[in-house]
Structure 1
Amino acid sequence: MIVVHALRSILHLLFMAVTIVPWALAVLIAAPFLNSHQIYWMCAGWLRLAVKGGELILGIRNHVIGFENLPVGSTAPAILLVKHQSTWETFCMPTLMPHPLAYVFKKELLYVPFFGWAMAKMDMIHIDRSKRAQAFNKVVQQGQRLLDQGTWVIMFPEGTRIARGHKGQYKSGGTRLAVATGAPVIPIAVTSAKCWPRKALIKRPGTVEFSIGKPIPSQGRDADELMREVEDWIEAEMRRLDPDAYRAKA
């Protein structure tokens, strides 16, 4: 069975590599004639293709609960703080959310051939991590502008992919942005490592759970206290969704 999983994983990787080149070139050619939302949904089209490929080739399915917790309205603001276990949720979130999303990411990703070049055409928040104070000021300025136009900001508070059953250090950048802009925080738990472990070549079929929590108001809150509330909800929900991963640590 491991050989079958390996072959399917390689096939999906090749599928993404082959399809990203013409899609990215199409984005680069079309970008001067499109507005930011049109560019976003064009790029999201490739993500849908990659996710559909994951469903058909890898046998990975998504199950989402809590859609009713998302803010309603074309310009209703939200900052999504998401558990990060693999690349899967990075691909899936734009395909699941009703609003355009703006990721906060390091600018080095813009130099990745084709994928990064297409990302550079999107209205997102890329930062220079070597300039921490300036980087956060940029996040607030651009974040406020994007939220005002109906784009939701998405961040992974642990900063990097975390192994199944583990918890990273939750950083308060997302809640600091929420407090600065007054946007509510939406915590989201994801069990992607059951199927797509971090840094793993071999993926396994199964169901990835996305659990969307209720909005947490940010106005008048302390950013660190707010992040602890987000962390507590996400980690408790992870234990509920994937108890086997945490049973050995109980």
Structure 2
Amino acid sequence: MSNVALYYARVVLAVVVLMVSAAYGTLASIVCTLIGKQHLAQYTTARFYYYAMKWVMGIDVKVIGEEKLQNKPFIAVSNHQSTLDILMLGRMFPPGCTITAKTSLKWVPFLGWFMALSGTYFLNRSNRKQSVDTLNDGLRNIKEKKRALWIFPEGTRSYSTDLKLLPFKKGAFHLAQQGKIPIVPIVVSNTSTLMNSKNKVFNRGVITVKVMDPISTEELTPEGVSKFSEELHDKMFAELKTIGYSKAINDTNIPAEAIAFEKAHETESVAASDEKTTASAASGSSLHQE
């Protein structure tokens, strides 16, 4: 089978896994709602999808600092890259956490039904007042019930093969400031080495996720939100450059940018090793002369 044919075969298989998971989520949401545990519907469905993708598609998620997600309430913010973000959420989603999504997703069979039944906050991007009201409802809920909200502040998927973040929208940070709720920044390795439609990439591998330290918003003022979000953007971008790309088994293809990054990283590692060896040798020679 050619690499392109394998790519499309894996795409079809991944869609099947997603639809099966969404069907499970729809049923789980109904059951959880009936027993008064709606807040657990997204958690159980997320885990189902993660394990299905791990065993069927061969993609795993490695999380660094996951213990920082234990203390709720909080608002999690992370970079937004591709449909593999759903897999990342599947591995990490804490109990009692929910997401925001655009309103149009509500009408997608199974997936939209599950999202609606499980308490997703749907945002109408053409109606700012309605979106603000929805977020305010979410804010009251996570404060009163000590839950969590997951937001992608870039607003849309970047689909980037480069290590970059799109500019942050301010909604999540205004919400945190109003509720004095901590922000938990989460940085996900670039996943274009695992999935990228432009380069016909769909590989097995491991996504690396770094949960950064929670940031208090107790002293944050409305006037300081813009600066706060810009500084956090810079911190998360710096962390992204450290984490780099997701580790992949090359079944189909690898983006040129990822290959170049790995070569540059290897060169830097060799140079650092040579420098350390030279310094060690010089130190040994000095001790011998003494």
TM-score tier, shorter chain, comes to 0.7 to 0.9
* Rounded Cα–Cα distance in structure 2 between residues aligned with 1:200 and 1:108: 27
Change (3 A) 1:19 1:171: closer
Letter in 2 for 1:171: K
Structure 2 match to 1:213: 212
2:58 is the alignment partner of 1:59: yes
Deviations 1:133-184 (A, max 9, x none): 3422431232222232122011001011111323212111111111010001
Change (3 A) 1:138 1:16: closer
Tell me which of 8, 11, 33 is aligned to 2:10: 8
Letter in 2 for 1:175: F
Change (3 A) 1:48 1:71: closer
Structure 2 match to 1:113: 109
Q: Percent identity?
A: 23
Structure 2 match to 1:164: 161
Which piece of structure 1 moves more, 101-110 or 137-146? 137-146
- Counting only pairs closer than 5 Å after superposition, residues 28-177 of structure 1 correspond to structure 2 as 29-30=30-31, 33-35=34-36, 38-72=37-71, 76-162=72-158, 163-165=160-162, 166-177=164-175
Deviations 1:85-110 (A, max 9, x none): 11222343254243322212222211
* Rounded Cα–Cα distance in structure 2 between residues aligned with 1:60 and 1:144: 36
Q: Is the Cα contact below 8 Å between 1:58 and 1:203 reproduced in 2?
A: no
* Rounded Cα–Cα distance in structure 2 between residues aligned with 1:132 and 1:223: 19
Change (3 A) 1:31 1:77: closer
Between structure 1 and structure 2, the one with the greater Rg is 2
Letter in 2 for 1:173: G
Cα drift, residue 13 of structure 1: 2.1
- Counting only pairs closer than 5 Å after superposition, residues 234-249 of structure 1 correspond to structure 2 as 234-242=236-244, 245=258, 247=261
* Rounded Cα–Cα distance in structure 1 between residues aligned with 2:43 and 2:95: 11
RMSD: 2.7
User: Which structure would you say has the larger RCO, counting Cα contacts within 8 Å and 6 or more residues apart?
Assistant: 1
Cα drift, residue 65 of structure 1: 0.4
Q: Which runs of 4+ in 1 moved over 4 A?
A: 198-202, 243-248
SS of residue in 2 equivalent to 1:120: helix
* Rounded Cα–Cα distance in structure 2 between residues aligned with 1:63 and 1:28: 27
* Rounded Cα–Cα distance in structure 2 between residues aligned with 1:140 and 1:47: 25
Letter in 2 for 1:12: A
Letter in 1 for 2:122: H
Change (3 A) 1:128 1:219: same
Q: Give the structure-2-normalised TM-score.
A: 0.74
Tell me which of 220, 227, 232 is aligned to 1:230: 232
SS of residue in 2 equivalent to 1:216: coil
SS of residue in 1 equivalent to 2:207: strand
Cα drift, residue 7 of structure 1: 2.7
SS of residue in 1 equivalent to 2:202: coil
SS of residue in 1 equivalent to 2:155: coil
